[in-house]
Structure 1
Amino acid sequence: MGIFSSIKEKLFGKAAQDTSAETAANETITAGSTKPVTADVSATPTTAGNDAAAKPAENKTAGAAVDVAAIMDAAVKKNGQKLDWRRSIVDMMKALDLDSSLSARKELADELGYTGDKNDSATMNVWLHKALMKALAENGGKVPADLLD
């Protein structure tokens, strides 16, 4: 599993757990009903020629975007250190209890397609933070607009 996958798991896994608990509660309520419980299948139908439509959505919760800021703020609070995840990739990784070493950040840079000089860590870190926010938004995360520019 790559670093980006670990970040998504930390962020979206927590949201998926919250959604699973809510779904379980709803199923308990409807279990005594005479109506069958069915899944919402109103999503766009897939066609054999449309690869994008044929692929299932990855790491998205049931119809709701994962609030990245709320999860990160809670992670920082739980961590107990003064971390500025909104500006620092290192602090973000620390808040998620992930390896924030230069080698881990270089690996993340490779995963996200960084083409600059990985020995210029300051420039790479700024790029990484922006690229990570964009990638999280593309994968079902609700990212504050000011972090996407």
Structure 2
Amino acid sequence: MSIFSKIKGAIFGGKAEAGERPATAPTLAPAPQKDVAAQAPQPAPATPAASATPAAAPAAPAASSPVDVIASLEATAKAKGSDLNWRSSIVDLMKLLDIDSSLANRKDLAKELHYTGDLDGSAEMNIWLHKAVMRELAKNGGKVPSELTD
């Protein structure tokens, strides 16, 4: 799994699970229809097929709605009692998400995101990485304020 995928999963993961739970609720709703279907055996096979299609439909809108990256990170920081500077530091962002922030991992992340400078762990590389991660999160369905991507 790529470093960026780990970051994205740590931020978006909880939202995806929350989106799946409402999708299971409509699946439970057709249960009374099964009682009606028991009275009329022929419609019963059509009812489960019809209920499977609507169950898949609510999951798509949940997945397409943007994830508030800042709110997610603030909630994580609050839950951990963390005062890390994740808004501007790639190292602190990775630490907050329990991802190895070593230079080797940051070099791998820089390669994934096509950094063209020296892979020396410089402030320049780290600043670029933080902004690039925020831009990628925005491209992948995250709501990120422009001051974190520019």
Query: Per-residue deviation at 1:32?
Result: 3.1
Call closer, same or farther: CA 1:144–1:33 in 2, change over 3 Å.
farther
Query: Per-residue deviation at 1:139?
Result: 0.9
Task: Flag structure 1 segments of 5+ consecutive residues without an equivalent.
Answer: 44-59
Deviation digits for residues 62-85 of structure 1 (CA, Å, limit 9, x no counterpart): 321111111111111122221121
What is the match of residue 9 of structure 1? 9
Structure-1 separation of matches of 2:27 and 2:85: 39
What is the match of residue 126 of structure 2? 125
When Rg is computed on C-alpha atoms for both structures, the one with the higher figure is: 2
Deviation digits for residues 86-119 of structure 1 (CA, Å, limit 9, x no counterpart): 1111111111111111111111101100010111
- State the TM-score, normalizing by the size of structure 1: 0.78
Count, aligned residues: 132
Structure-2 separation of matches of 1:74 and 1:121: 29
Task: Flag structure 2 segments of 5+ consecutive residues without an equivalent.
Answer: 35-46
Structure-2 separation of matches of 1:75 and 1:5: 18
Query: Per-residue deviation at 1:30?
Result: 4.4
Identity score, percent: 51
What is the match of residue 28 of structure 1? 28
RMSD in angstroms over aligned alpha carbons? 2.2
